[in-house]
Amino acid sequence: MPDSRILNVSRDLVLSRRASQIQRLTSLLGRSFLFMVTSVSVLAVLFIIIFITRDAFPFFQIRGFREFFTSTHWFPSGNPPEFGALSIITGSALVAMGAAIVAVPLGVLAAVCLSDVLPFSLRQVAKPIIEILAAIPSVAYGFFALVIFAPALQEHGGIILTVCLWMLALPAALLAATVISDLVVAGIPTSRRPAMRGICWLTLVGGALFALVQGSGHLLDLTISSGTNALNVSIILGIMALPTVVSVSEDALQAVGRDLREGSYALGATRAETLVKTIIPAAASGIAAASILGIMRAVGETMVVWMASGNAAQIPTPWYNLLQPVRTLTATIAGDMGEADHVLGSARYHVLFAMALSLLLFSFGSNFVSEHIGRKFRSRQAGG
């Protein structure tokens, strides 16, 4: 019996010529199938680039580059039509900047909190909840922005902005005062340090409080005439970009590793010092990559901006005035597509592809930068 079993096994191990051919063939088939499946996504990117470029090109042939990039007159249905996209490009940039101001500090702080401050059990609960933000459909965000947030901004804009200012600026001021007074006293004899530090801290915090009170006085007087403006979408897009920023920066902070943290503690550093001076600098490139990804998310978002940015093709005066309505590239493509497809081949049709191309180029640029930063980050991690 045992002999025959051995015989059987050896028969299976040594394949006949035919069997080995079949096996090689199936393996080839399997590999080519997997290759094809993988190629689909690569090809999709390639075809998107080819088709967008192909359809964007005629626009520049018809109208040239100058008007598109330098004029702010956007009247695609006018007679004669005008296709100045400068104000629309500015609108996209402005909204992205606003979203970054909201998403980056909040996201990075949340990531620090998740990775180094919260106890493990709480973190297990908090992270999935933050990630739910990414699962909410963007039209729901847009609806909220249009129906609830925009009227709220119109009626209580001053109060909302003041509360936001205090919530953001007070902790920042306290933190800054602490760090600066620490730095100031570094040069003087140890015995006089606590007193000097106290004086320095109090002056700085007093100054900050005075500035805050002054600032909120101005903010409270502010009336926002239209709630569908750049500020509205900046805040909403910032919240939408949060999960990306939190998730990726948290990964970067986690990747810093136990040895650096424990080394820092061993040298007598407090948890705050370890965070600010060791862990965050070590994870800086990862955090930068996270921020770029978050900004890309904000630039590419369409539904929210179409519903709540006001879609006014203008450069706000002054340009950083987030309280005025703006129009973004994505919203313009979405909003004008319906009309444009009736007049296939016209400048009106191709201008939308020119906009899509601008978005695509920006996206590629950002992706490239974030990849580059990420690679630097990984190689530094590897090198220690």
Binding-site ranges for another protein (CB under 8 A): 72-79, 87, 146-147, 150-151, 154, 225-228, 306-307, 310-314, 324-325, 327, 335-336, 338-339, 342-343
Q: Which is nearer to another protein, 243 or 310 (CB)?
A: 310
Task: Please classify residue 144 by burial: count the beta carbons closer than 10 Å to its beta carbon, then call 0-12 exposed, 13-18 middle and 19+ buried.
Answer: middle
Q: In the bound complex, what is the minimum distance in angstroms from residue 329's beta carbon to another protein? A: 14
Q: Which is nearer to another protein, 74 or 353 (CB)?
A: 74
What is the 8-class DSSP label of residue 83?
E
Q: Which is nearer to another protein, 177 or 307 (CB)?
A: 307
Give the C-alpha distances (Å, rounded to integers) separating 353 from 55, 74, 123, 359, 364. Answer: 6, 15, 44, 10, 16
Q: In the bound complex, what is the minimum distance in angstroms from residue 205's beta carbon to another protein? A: 38
User: What contacts 373, CB < 8 A, 6 or more positions away?
Assistant: 285, 288, 289, 292
CA 192/CA 322 separation, integer angstroms: 47
Q: Which is nearer to another protein, 107 or 142 (CB)?
A: 142
Count of Cβ atoms closer than 10 Å to residue 214 Cβ: 10
Q: Which is nearer to another protein, 87 or 249 (CB)?
A: 87
Q: In the bound complex, what is the minimum distance in angstroms from residue 235's beta carbon to another protein? A: 17
What is the 8-class DSSP label of residue 344?
T
CA 44/CA 366 separation, integer angstroms: 20
Q: In the bound complex, what is the minimum distance in angstroms from residue 227's beta carbon to another protein? A: 7
Q: Which is nearer to another protein, 74 or 377 (CB)?
A: 74
Q: In the bound complex, what is the minimum distance in angstroms from residue 183's beta carbon to another protein? A: 46
Phi, psi of 325, deg, nearest 5: -65, 145
Q: In the bound complex, what is the minimum distance in angstroms from residue 45's beta carbon to another protein? A: 30
**DSSP element (H, E) containing 196:** helix 193-221
